[in-house]
Amino acid sequence: MIHHQPGLRAATICVCLIICSVTPKVGAQMTSQGKRGWVNPYKELDEAARLANSSVDDVSLRGVADAVFRFPRALPRAPEAIENVIKDRLVRAEIAYRNGTQPGVLERDIVALFNSIGDKLGLPSYSKTSSQQVRVLRMQLALSSPLFMAPGLIRGNMKVGESVSESMSPLQAAHLISSLVDQKIINPEYQVEPAEWDKSHLPAAMAKIQQIQQMQASGQSGSKSQKTEVRVFRRKRDLYESLIQAGSSLGFFEALDLIDQAFTTLKI
């Protein structure tokens, strides 16, 4: 029975945490490989977004959702049935958002979701995030996948620190949340309490964004920094182990309830 499979419960709780956290079949390998050879996952997101920008329909937006789900992650992939439920809801919400019948997801709601799930599961204190951390990571993702992540955020001649909209599309939010979990698991710079990160790591992160912007403005490639973003630190991380432990004591339907609560928090 599903109730007695800790691995399945652990995978499901990962979904609760990040809405659509998915990985390639080899979870520890942060590359996008297959019969086509290596594919830059940032460019794959942008290509899907380019097709969807010309036609707001279920098929094109499903392609964006598929690209988000295929993006290399640090956590195990959720069961297909769970993925499909989440993907369907995200695509419906994305269509409503693009048609102007549903508001976007706010950065503050992502912070609230992240921190509330951490409290419910008893995760380490550094699993929590802050508005500054979410904003900086969002800007970094926008520089890596501008066609997908920049709409609603990046304006012409925008400078770091300028006020931008904190609203984003449901699929953008899903990618951002998943990427934040990745950073918490594999990036030591993110494995600190939110207040400490805001004080000690924010200046360096903003400087890095400025450097990437300058490189792109001068026509230099940012591929090297993008590959660094997805490099795996093979050492086991406490957060990963805490997620597995939390998942082992969570029932399948409890996990589904957490997923529904997560969507409610994000107003999707």
Question: What is the reported pLDDT for 245?
Answer: 73
The 10s digit of each residue's pLDDT in 213-265 is: 666 666 655 544 444 343 344 334 577 777 777 766 667 777 778 888 899 99
CA 103 – CA 122 distance, rounded (Å)? 31
DSSP of 5-68, one letter per residue?
-HHHHHHHHHHHHHSS----SSTT--S--STT----HHHHHHHHHHHHHT--SHHHHHHHHHHH
Domain of 180 in residue numbering reads as 2-265
Global confidence as pTM: 0.79
- With a cut of 50, say whether residue 150 has pLDDT above it: yes
- With a cut of 80, say whether residue 268 has pLDDT above it: yes
Amino acid in position 150: A
* The total number of structural domains that make up the chain: 1
pLDDT mean across residues, the chain: 77
The 10s digit of each residue's pLDDT in 10-54 is: 444 444 545 444 333 333 334 444 455 677 999 999 999 999 987
